[in-house]
Structure 1
Amino acid sequence: MDLDIALYQPDIANNTGTLIRLAACMGLTLHIIHPAGFPISPKILARAGLDYVEHAAIREHVNFASFHLWRTTQSRRLVLLTTKSAHSAYDVRYAPGDILMLGRESAGVPDAVAETTELRVRIPMLPERRSLNVALAGAMIVGEAMRQIDGFTSLS
């Protein structure tokens, strides 16, 4: 698959497990950018991701600098899902090779990290609402990106 998901310093094991399951079912690689707010161990991942962990492609990066170096050497565009964007996630064009990055559940990503991204998008929602669950937001935009790049044709 030509689409990846990146989790920036995830806080909640269950959300990471949900995204592991999404990655396993959709054939995506999940990048976990440390430090995480919980131990990334086989036991914790198995509890959070159930039996999907063994089917998921998971790549860990010791910090954002190492992830950023890896993805720039791979010429991969980084798309940040954030509430701090004016661009609707449904008005942009996704491309093969994109990496969809989700921030920490508690704080998103720091401005310095956001500035390294090529595209920042938000999910439109009612103005009185703060944000969606990170795993739900990730699943919504993975679906849209896969639809646009015809990523579902390889899944049958």
Structure 2
Amino acid sequence: MVMNIVLVEPEIPQNTGNIARTCAVTNSSLYLVKPLGFSTEDKYLKRAGLDYWDKVDVYYYDSIFDLIADYNDSSFYFASTKAPQSYDQVIYKNNDFLVFGKETAGLPESLLKKYLDYTIRIPMGNELRSLNLANSVAIILYEGLRQLNFPSLVNNGLLRNN
């Protein structure tokens, strides 16, 4: 795997399904930290992920701290609108973990304070609350992949004859 996406307590199955599809096409792993706001058998989750579910490695954790402890040699970056630095100011490495909070509340401030030097944000308008979770994951993930020269990804397409 190239990058790892972590969703802490995701609430909307369609977002998680879209993120799973993004993970599949980028060879990224998906880590889901409980509690989940939906069943993993949810039809909206399955529909949003299309037929990509067998192409993504999904792992479940009861706590973000358990995950961090299991991968304590890896870098974790915590996405938040409250972060002091932009996501494009980070130099990403293979197997980094990109951590995102639940749709209604984001990541807990206690976690952000503990890892403040590793918090990142996507620049956006001052008066607006946040971007969609699936869009946020895609933006930051693709910046990391761009910096790594899109390892193992096809970056040229072919037109088909009609």
1:92 matched to 2:90? The reply is yes
Q: Could you tell me the TM-score, scaled by structure 1's length?
A: 0.90
1:51 aligns to 2:51 (yes or no): yes
TM-score normalised by structure 2 residue count:
0.87
Amino acid in structure 1 at the alignment position of 2:82: K
Q: Please state how far the C-alpha of 1:44 moved relative to its aligned partner.
A: 5.8
Which amino acid counterpart does residue 76 of structure 1 have in structure 2? S
Contact kept, 8 Å, 1:45 with 1:53, in 2: the verdict is: no
1:116 Cα offset (Å) = 4.4
Show the 5 A alignment for 1:65-80.
Answer: 65-72=65-72, 75-80=73-78
RMSD over equivalenced CA pairs, Å: 1.7
Is the alpha carbon distance of 1:44 and 1:126 closer, same or farther for their aligned partners in structure 2, counting shifts above 3 Å? closer
**One-letter identity of the residue aligned with 2:138:** A
Q: Could you tell me whether the CA contact under 8 Å between 2:19 and 2:137 is conserved in 1?
A: yes
**In the alignment, what sits opposite 2:36?**
36
Report the AA paired with residue 91 of structure 1. Q
Structure 2: gaps (5+ residues): 155-162
Q: Which moved further from structure 2: 60-69 or 130-139?
A: 60-69
User: Could you tell me how far apart the structure 1 residues matched to 2:114 and 2:106 are?
Assistant: 14
How many Å separate the matches in 1 of 2:18 and 2:62? 21
Q: Which of 86, 108, 112 pairs up with 1:114?
A: 112
**Contact 2:14-2:44 within 8 A present in 1 as well:** no
Separation in structure 2 between the aligned mates of residue 50 and residue 85 of structure 1, nearest angstrom: 33
Cα 1:115–1:77 shift into 2, 3 Å: farther
Contact kept in structure 1, 2:83 and 2:119, CA below 8 Å: yes
Separation of aligned partners in 2, 1:86 and 1:37: 29
Q: Matched residues, percent identical?
A: 34
Gaps of 5+ in 1: none
> Higher mean Cα deviation, 46-55 or 82-91?
46-55
Q: Which has the larger radius of gyration?
A: 2
Query: Offset at 1:110?
Result: 1.1
Go from structure 1 to structure 2 and tell me whether the alpha carbon gap of 1:147 and 1:115 turns closer, same or farther (over 3 Å shift): same
Which residue pairs with 1:125 in the alignment? 124
